[in-house]
Amino acid sequence: MATDEPGADWRTELDQVQARWQAAVAAGADVAALRTLEVDALGKKGEITALVRRTGALPPDDRRAFGAAVGALRGVVEGWLAERADDLQAAVLQAELDDSTFDVGRPAAAGRVGHVHPLSQVQAEVEDVFRSMGFHVLDYPEVDSDFSNFESLNIPSWHPAREMQDTFWLDDGNLLRTHTSAGQVRAMHAFEAPFRAVFPGKVFRYEATDASHEHTFHQIEGLMIDRVVSVGHLLDSMRTLLRAILRDAAVEVRLRPGYFPFVEPGFELDIRCRVCGGGGCSVCKQRGWLELLPCGLVHPNVLRAGGLDPDHWQGWAFGLGLSRLVMMRFGVPDVRLLLAGDVRFLAQF
């Protein structure tokens, strides 16, 4: 088109380009088509991008006007693309709503539902068994004093038994309890004798971890205080517990002497290996028996620390390794799995 006006040629060209893209966008049938149009017009090798690149080659008088016109063209085409995309989306939604088979009352897909951790499951079962035998279920602090954890349990500061339980000490002289026995004297002060209680919870030991050791694990302490208490009471309570938890009326147990400063006499209670039935295997290290829970009759010094006169009161206590019991119940080979938080493990229970 010949005219005297400078730049008239490129103006006409831009008008034509614009008209072409307007038609193309209006004909864009779906989101994918629009995306292709966008690349062809505005992408790195797009037609409008190529126009922008041409600006520098124009005579200086034209440059500013051309640049502004191409910029405007770019904006207009972008606007059409966005508008067309909105229209298409609205049309898709409308089509869904118009579809008579679309059921707005249909329940949404169910979300994933979690469940109770295996440690908590077994802990709740143990609590139920003891509640049925008249025990309170108590909860004591994880951060406790030297007195509760050691001193009151007949373990003075010089006593080598402190070495049996490597301890996380806090700067203020308190500690992370190394065993639930830390609750024994608390319970004696909290309840009037006679009483029975179990207190489950996390305990902590500063030691190297392996398949059967973890710095954090779970125990359940049991304590029964009465006028006359015997090892027979203790044994029968343990049998009742293990039969219920291991779902086996024939669980066989035995007592071996065991040393703990806060019981006298003290025992290790073993159960007959459930894998080999007592013949010996790798699980029980060929012994036929598995060490499960330490226990004993409460030492007179502990009763005294709890404000009870050992001439009038007696007691038995046990410290059940809950983590261990869970491993036996479900056949878990490594204690570290219990607290690792891996859903692939947890989802199996």
Instruction: Tell me the closest approach of the beta carbon of residue 179 to ligand PHE, in angstroms.
Output: 3
What sign does the CA torsion over 178, 186, 153, 224 have?
A: negative
Please list every residue from 206 through 265 that binds ligand PHE, using CB under 6 A: 260, 263
Using CB under 6 A as the binding rule, whether residue 294 contacts ligand PHE is answered as: yes
> In terms of C-beta density within 10 A (0-12 exposed, 13-18 middle, 19 or more buried), how is residue 299 classed?
buried
Residue 306 vs 319, nearer CB to ligand PHE:
319
C-alpha–C-alpha distance, residues 74 and 175, integer Å: 70
Assess contact for 204 and 233: CB atoms under 8 A.
no
Q: How far is the CB of 297 from ligand PHE (least distance, A)?
A: 9
Report if residue 296 touches ligand PHE, rule: CB under 6 A: yes
For residues 254, 120, 150, 241, the Cα torsion angle rounded to the nearest 10 degrees is -20
Query: Does 295 sit near ligand PHE (CB under 6 A)?
Result: yes
Nearest distance in Å: CB 249, ligand PHE? 26
Q: How far is the CB of 320 from ligand PHE (least distance, A)?
A: 8
By C-beta, is 25 or 152 nearer to ligand PHE?
Answer: 152
Rank residues 108 and 208 by Cβ distance to ligand PHE and give the closer one: 208
What is the pattern of x (binds ligand PHE, CB under 6 A) and - over residues 177-196?
--x-x---------------
Q: Cα 101 to chain center, whole Å?
A: 41
Cis bond leading into 160, ω under 30°?
Answer: no
Cβ of residue 261: shortest distance to ligand PHE, in angstroms?
9
Q: What part of residues 299-328 is at the interface with ligand PHE (CB under 6 A)?
A: 317-319
Q: How far apart are CA 48 and CA 27, in angstroms?
A: 19
Residues touching ligand PHE, count (CB under 6 A): 11
Distance CA 135, CA 334 (A): 31
| 125 CB neighbour count, 10 Å cutoff | 15
Residues that bind ligand PHE (CB under 6 A): 179, 181, 260, 263, 266, 294-296, 317-319
